[in-house]
Structure 1
Amino acid sequence: MPESPEVQALAEFLDQHLVAQRIVGVDLEEFRALKTRARPLDELIGATVSGVRRFGKHLEIATDGAGLVISFGRAGWALLDEQMDAPVLARVEFDSGSSLTVTDAGSFLSLGLSVVDDVRDVASIAKLGPDPLDPAYSRAQFDVALGSRRNRSAPCCRSRSRSPASGAPTPTRSCTSRSCRPSRTRWI
């Protein structure tokens, strides 16, 4: 499962290499990956990339038209001009000859592609809270995220609406005023 810092590094890399490139072709290999059925990937053809940003474990490839959101899920990834053993779900071709390959190495499809005008049209992005990896993230935002849960930070940190950088397997805890003991591990 890609973690937020890995997705941030990918966003920065793609931003350096894709900005100002025009999309000249798209190829959807696995139709189940496209989450916006009314808006096909073909709508991106002819658009010029204006930037790549990370939202939690999602990437937005912003263009001068509709944008492409890649939701990585458990085992999804994107590669620029590289091949991977994982099944290819989609490919985006650029006027420079580069191609962005979107893959999912999981045993079930967890990656999603969405063609949107506004990144907040993707429900899982719309409910994300402030990003703790953002340099502008402040102590005041942290205090607001904790709210009245100041003595129970473990459940709060597991909530994606309070902290979109969460997602690693973390122990679920049974917290009381006297103790906080791990009970089991689960994916969040």
Structure 2
Amino acid sequence: MPELPEVEALVGDLSRRLAGRAVVRVDVVAFSCLKTYDPPVTALSGGLIEGVLRHGKFLDLDVSGTHLVLHLARAGWIRWKDDPPATPPRPSNKSPLAARILLSPGPDGGGEAALDVTEAGTRKSLALYVVRDPADVEGIARLGPDPLVGDFTIDTLREILAAAGRAQIKGVLRHQSNIAGIGNAYSDELLHAARMSPFKPANSLDDTELETLFEAIRRVLGDAVARSSGLAASELKGEKKSHMAVHGRAGQPCPVCGDTVREVSFADSALQYCPTCQTGGKPLADRRMSRLLK
């Protein structure tokens, strides 16, 4: 799933590519992805793309004051397409294409181009909104503070964790109404950087632990944004995966201490952590594995 650093990099890449271009039309291929009806998708046709913004993990294209907002969910992505076909794409169960944004020629020459919005797999969660104001999207309206914006301070984090009570800190960090943009991958990474158990109660941190976690949030996300800056969309997934310390690395050695990275599985997701770095050497209970062993 694209999280804050990848969406921020997409903003940079698309801002360069879309400058001076207009939307010719938007072809919705997978109709389940379109979550709004007023304004209609046709309201985007002919509009000049005036900016590309990020709201948490949402991508926002400002098209002459009407906003095309995308949430790429777990398996969505955006692909640049030069010389797109002249005919609109047809719905197909075999194609990952969810929508195509046909673009006018750029100011520096060249022909039409397109943004293909795709979603792999059978679980369809990608969402496309056409709105007059980004705040009209419920998910954006309820976003918490952005962790890389200046007004996100250690006191902000303290208040968020205190309000969460004894909820597990991993879930608190992932909840978009608490902090915008952190998902499953980077919550694993920043908790590893902070040497903190994902199951630690949110309100149990002392002042030193709070400062360590705050610094880890700023550093892990900030470093990921810096590494991704200037990369094309096609390069972002590989860059993200290659710099993960624990996420997606179950069974591999921890790059800090060499212990084996462990995993806890849930119904539709999993977390990864290092026992030596984060839990005093004690493996966390994996309920799914426990059931299999009975």
Residues in 1 aligned to 2:5 and 2:22: alpha-carbon distance in whole angstroms = 27
Contact 1:172 1:185 in 2 (8 A): no
Residues in 1 aligned to 2:154 and 2:200: alpha-carbon distance in whole angstroms = 26
The structure-2 alpha-carbon separation of the partners of 1:98 and 1:137, relative to structure 1 and needing over 3 Å to count, comes to farther
Aligned to 2:24: 24
Contact 1:146 1:153 in 2 (8 A): no
The Cα of 1:151 is off from its aligned counterpart by 8.1
**Equivalences for 1:1-188 in 2 at 5 Å?**
1-81=1-81, 87-96=96-105, 97-134=112-149, 137-148=152-163, 154=169, 155-168=171-184, 173=199, 175=201, 185-186=265-266, 187=269
Residues in 2 aligned to 1:149 and 1:37: alpha-carbon distance in whole angstroms = 36
SS at match of 1:173: coil
- Give RMSD over aligned pairs: 3.0
Aligned pairs, number: 183
Residues in 1 aligned to 2:36 and 2:167: alpha-carbon distance in whole angstroms = 38
The structure-2 alpha-carbon separation of the partners of 1:47 and 1:149, relative to structure 1 and needing over 3 Å to count, comes to same
Offset from partner CA, 1:65-106 (integer Å, 9 cap, x none): 3110001111111112279x9611111111111211100013
The structure number with the bigger radius of gyration is 2
Residue 163 of structure 1 aligns with an amino acid whose one-letter code is I
Runs of at least 5 residues in structure 2 that lack an aligned partner in the other structure: 85-93, 106-111, 189-196, 205-263, 271-294
Residues in 2 aligned to 1:32 and 1:16: alpha-carbon distance in whole angstroms = 30
Higher helix fraction (1 or 2): 2
Runs of at least 5 residues in structure 1 that lack an aligned partner in the other structure: 178-183
TM-score, reference length from structure 2: 0.55
Contact 1:76 1:102 in 2 (8 A): yes
Moved over 2 A (4+): 37-40, 133-153, 169-177, 184-188
**Identity, % of aligned positions:** 34
Residue 75 of structure 1 aligns with an amino acid whose one-letter code is A
The Cα of 1:147 is off from its aligned counterpart by 4.1
Residues in 2 aligned to 1:49 and 1:10: alpha-carbon distance in whole angstroms = 15
Residues in 1 aligned to 2:37 and 2:156: alpha-carbon distance in whole angstroms = 36
Higher deviation after alignment, 168-177 or 60-69: 168-177
The Cα of 1:22 is off from its aligned counterpart by 1.0
Contact 2:39 2:132 in 1 (8 A): no
Offset from partner CA, 1:102-160 (integer Å, 9 cap, x none): 00013121101100011111111111111113355333433343345588771532322
Higher strand fraction (1 or 2): 1
SS at match of 2:139: helix
TM-score, reference length from structure 1: 0.82
The Cα of 1:8 is off from its aligned counterpart by 1.2
Residues in 2 aligned to 1:20 and 1:138: alpha-carbon distance in whole angstroms = 37
The structure-2 alpha-carbon separation of the partners of 1:99 and 1:159, relative to structure 1 and needing over 3 Å to count, comes to same
SS at match of 1:166: coil
The Cα of 1:19 is off from its aligned counterpart by 2.7
The structure-2 alpha-carbon separation of the partners of 1:3 and 1:158, relative to structure 1 and needing over 3 Å to count, comes to closer
The structure-2 alpha-carbon separation of the partners of 1:158 and 1:108, relative to structure 1 and needing over 3 Å to count, comes to closer
